[in-house]
Chain A
Amino acid sequence: GENVEQHPSTLSVQEGDSAVIKCTYSDSASNYFPWYKQELGKRPQLIIDIRSNVGEKKDQRIAVTLNKTAKHFSLHITETQPEDSAVYFCAASPSSGSARQLTFGSGTQLTVLP
């Protein structure tokens, strides 16, 4: 099955700096890579996703890059703000017909210091 590794487990940055979180995956059949943000006591919320036919995707201050050859993908947050503080999970999923089977990374606790 798929195995997703995520680093670092904790990350502290000063407000306004950039944050980068990295993930690697093992299953070459995986073709969908979402990132979820989870604030304490709340649901995981999809913040950005990328498919394997795309190398990079941006949405305002958030970007994701994918290197299929190396089987790794990264989340980049620029101009960080205190409200970006949360746990971030990467995930990977192969194409599986009518349902998606996501395998999550272990999570990164991001703290943005004011």
Chain B
Amino acid sequence: DTEVTQTPKHLVMGMTNKKSLKCEQHMGHRAMYWYKQKAKKPPELMFVYSYEKLSINESVPSRFSPECPNSSLLNLHLHALQPEDSALYLCASSQPLVEKLFFGSGTQLSVL
């Protein structure tokens, strides 16, 4: 399996909802990432997990809460989001000490 799988592909939520994005990889990668990408812009790093521990948090608002339950799974819990949080949320993974990042297909999130 050489893919990073993200679910759901599309999500529409209201500002009072709680939802979660899921990411899964079975490549044995021990670093996992959440990126946010607005239309026509580059991906922006949000969080990095290394060996299931949060290693980087790029000053992301607390309404985004990451979780890494095990080495294959990465979640992003969403609560009380704002319309400006609408974007494509990309998960990625990589092998420690190996440079290549592999991206999932993303979740297109719309906040109403």
Question: Count the B residues whose beta carbon is within 8 Å of the partner chain — how many?
Answer: 27
Specify which of A32, A44, A106 is in contact with B41 (CB 8 Å cutoff).
Answer: A106
CB distance from A106 to the nearest CB of B (A): 6
* Cα separation A34 to B41 with both chains bound (whole Å): 17
Q: Which of B14-22, B69-77, B91-99 contacts A (4 or more CB under 8 A)?
A: B91-99
Chain A residue numbers with a CB within 8 Å of B102 are 46
Whether A44 pairs with B94 at a CB distance below 8 angstroms is: no
Total A-B residue pairs with C-beta atoms closer than 8 Å?
A: 64
A2-43 contacts to B, CB under 8 A, are 32, 34, 36, 42-43
Q: How far is the CB of A102 from chain B (nearest CB, A)?
A: 6
Q: Does A114 contact B (CB under 8 A)?
A: no
Give the complex CA separation of A44 and B101 in angstroms: 10
* Residue among B50, B56, B101, B103 facing the most chain A CB atoms (10 A cut-off): B101
Contacts known (A43-B103, A46-B100, A49-B100); A102 close to B45, Cβ less than 8 A: yes
A106 close to B42 (CB less than 8 A): yes
Q: Which residue on A lies nearest to B91, using beta carbons?
A: A43
5 contacts across the A-B interface (CB closer than 8 A): A36-B103, A98-B55, A98-B97, A99-B49, A106-B41
